[in-house]
Amino acid sequence: MASRLRTAAAFLCNPHRRWPPAIDPASNSCQFVIPCDSACVAPERRRCGPGSPPIMDLRSIRYFVQIADLGSITRAAQHLRIAQPALSRHLRSLEDELGTELLVRLPRGVRLTGAGRQFADHCRRILRELGRAQDELRASTEMPQGQVVLGLSPTIGPLVLPGIVERVTRQCPQISLKVVEGFSIQLYDALLAGRVEVGLLTNPTPSRALTLTPLLSEPIVVLAPPQARGTRRFYTMPELAKTPVITTEAIRSIVDEQLSRYGARLNIEAEIDAVEAIRRLLLRGIGPAVMPVSTFHDDIRAGTIAAFPIADANVHRILMLVQPAERKPSAASEEIAHIVAAEANALSDAGLFSLPAGGPPQLIMPAGTGRRSARRASRKRSAST
C-alpha cells in the first residue's frame, strides 16, 4: 500500500504527467459508470460526465418494442439487422436508466414483466403519435400516405378485403395497409388501445372514445346442408328454439339479445369461433348453423348450403365503421375509412348482405335453380297463405 501511495504521489507531482483519456479531468468527453449503492434501494448504474447523451431515445424505444412484439432478443436482432450483443446492451442500458427490469430472460425467448408491459404500451403510443405527426406534415403538402391499421372480423373480412385492397392500390398506392383480423370484441379493445385505426365491427357497444358510423343492417339466418331444404321455407322462433344449432360466441350474443324480446333463446349444440370450421361442418351435412347471410354467400349461391330466414323476428346485425374519437385521424386513415364504407355499400347494393326483397320470408335461391322450381315454390307459398 505504501509503495502504491508513493507511486501516485510521484505521478501527481510530475509536471509532464499524461492522464489516460478515459479519466482526463480536462477532457469534456469524460464518461464512466459510478455504482450507487444504498441500503434502501437496489443498486443502479448512472452515466455521468459533461455532455452525456440520454440513453432513452427513439432508437432504443423502437428496439424495445420490437423485442416485446417478437418475444425474443434473437429474432428482434435478426429483424432489425443488428448484432444481438448490441441489442442486449441497448436493453440493459434502458433498464438501468429506468431502474427496473423490463424483461424476464427465459431459456427460449423473453417475457415482459409488469413494468415492461406498461412501458411497452407507452412506447407504442409514442411511436404511433410520431407516425401520425409525420403523416399530418406530409398531408399538408402531399397526398395521404403512411401505414394504416385496419381491423376486420373473420365473417366480413373475406368479403370486403379484396375490393378494399383493389381500391387502395388504384386510388392511393402511397398508403400502406396493414390488416388485423379478429372478432368484434377483440377489435373493439384494439381500437380503444390505439392499435387499430379503422375497424369494421358488428353491434359494437357505444363509447365516447369511439366514433361509430352505421353502414348497413344484415339479416342473421339459419344455414343448413342442402338436403335439409325439402319443403321448408323459413324457421319460426319456436322451431328455432327447439333446434340445436352451431354458431359463434359473437353471433350467439347478438341473436340471444334480440330473441329475448320474444321470450326465446338459441339452443346451442356447439359454439365455434372458427368460421371455416362451421362451413366444413355444413358441407359435411352437420348442422344447422345460425350465422349472418353474407358469411357463406358463395356456397348459398352455389347450392351447397341452404339459407332460411327467421320468420317472426327481425334478427340482424349492424355493420359499423369505427374510429377512435379522442385523436385526430390522419389523412391516410380517413382515406381508408372512406374506401371501407364505399366497398361495404357497393357489396350491399350487389345483394351480398340481404335476403331477396318483397313477399314473405323465403329461401335464397341457389344458382342453377330453374324457373320451373321457382314457379313451384311460388305456388306453394300462395297455397300456404
Write the pLDDT tens digit of every residue in 202-216. Answer: 888 899 999 999 998
- Which pLDDT score, from 0 to 100, does residue 39 have? 42
- SS3 state at 342: helix
pLDDT of amino acid 314: 78
Q: Determine which of 78-82, 269-273, 325-329 has the lowest per-residue pLDDT on average.
A: 325-329
Q: Is the dihedral of CA 258, 263, 269, 271 positive or negative?
A: positive
> Given pLDDT bands bounded at 50, 70 and 90, which one contains residue 15?
low
The separation between the first and the last C-alpha atoms of the chain, rounded to the nearest angstrom, is: 113
137 backbone φψ class: left, alpha, beta (φ>0; ψ -120 to 50): alpha
Residue 257 has a pLDDT of 85
Highest mean pLDDT among 8-17, 312-321, 335-344: 335-344
The pLDDT confidence band at residue 292, using thresholds 50, 70 and 90, is very high
pLDDT at residue number 366: 35
Q: What is the mean pLDDT of residues 251-279?
A: 88
Residue, of 147 and 351, whose pLDDT is higher: 147
Of the ranges 120-124, 236-240, 358-362, which one carries the lowest mean pLDDT score? 358-362
Looking at the predicted structure, is the pLDDT value of residue 222 above 90?
yes
Q: How far is CA 174 from the centre of its chain?
A: 22
More confident residue, 50 or 151: 151
* Centroid of chain to Cα 213: 19
CATH class of 218-316+353-368: alpha beta
Over pLDDT 70: what percentage of the chain?
75
As a whole number, mean pLDDT of residues 222-233 equals 78
The CA distance from 3 to 16, in Å, is 21
Sign of CA dihedral 45, 51, 54, 59: negative
**Element at 270 (helix H, strand E):** strand 267-271
Which of the pair, 247 or 233, is modelled with greater confidence? 247
Q: Please list the residues that pair with 151 across neighbouring strands.
A: 180, 199
Predicted confidence (pLDDT) at residue 41 exceeds the cutoff of 50 = no
The one-letter code for the residue type at 82 is I
> Topology of domain 127-215+319-349, per CATH?
D-Maltodextrin-Binding Protein; domain 2 (3.40.190)
Position 268 scores a pLDDT of 93
- pLDDT above 90 (res 291): yes
Closest CA to 361 of 215, 188, 233: 233
Instruction: Quickly list H helices, the chain.
Output: 2-13, 58-70, 73-80, 84-98, 114-139, 157-171, 184-193, 237-242, 249-259, 275-283, 297-302, 331-349, 371-384
Closest to 318 measured CA to CA, from 184, 182, 192, 197: 184
pLDDT of res. 35: 44
pLDDT of residue 381: 39
- The pairing of strands 110-112 and 103-105 is antiparallel
Residues above pLDDT 90, as percent of the chain: 29
Q: Is the peptide bond before 288 cis (omega within 30 degrees of 0)?
A: yes
DSSP letter for each residue of 273-329? S-HHHHHHHHHTT---EEEETTTTHHHHHHTSSEEE-BTTS--EEEEEEEEESSSPP
Q: What is the dihedral of CA 62, 67, 73, 77, to 10 degrees?
A: -40
**Does residue 14 come out as left (phi exceeding 0), alpha (psi in the -120 to 50 range) or beta?**
beta
Distance between CA 145 and CA 287 in Å, rounded?
A: 46
CB of 335 closer than 8 Å to CB of 210: no
pLDDT at 169: 93
Q: What is the pLDDT of residues 166-205, one digit of tens each?
A: 999 999 999 999 999 988 889 999 999 889 999 999 888 8
pLDDT at 100 over 70: yes
> Are the C-beta atoms of residues 282 and 296 closer than 8 Å to each other?
yes
The per-residue pLDDT of the chain, averaged, comes to 78
Confidence at residue 230, expressed as pLDDT on a 0 to 100 scale: 66
User: pLDDT tier at 255 (50, 70, 90 boundaries)?
Assistant: confident
Report pLDDT for 187.
Answer: 93
Residue 99 reports pLDDT greater than 80: yes
User: What mean pLDDT comes out for the span 63-89?
Assistant: 90
For residue range 319-372, what is the model confidence (pLDDT) as tens digits?
999 999 988 888 899 999 999 999 998 988 888 887 544 333 333 333 333 333
Average pLDDT over residues 34-40: 42
What average pLDDT does the segment 16-25 reach? 51
Question: According to the model, what pLDDT value does residue 214 have?
Answer: 92
pLDDT tier at 379, thresholds 50, 70, 90: very low
**Fold equal for 127-215+319-349 and 218-316+353-368:** yes
Q: 223: pLDDT confidence band, cut at 50, 70 and 90?
A: very high
Residues 267-278: what's their mean pLDDT? 92
185 grid coordinates: 370484441
- Residue range 28-123, CATH number: 1.10.10.10
Domain ranges of the chain: 28-123, 127-215+319-349, 218-316+353-368
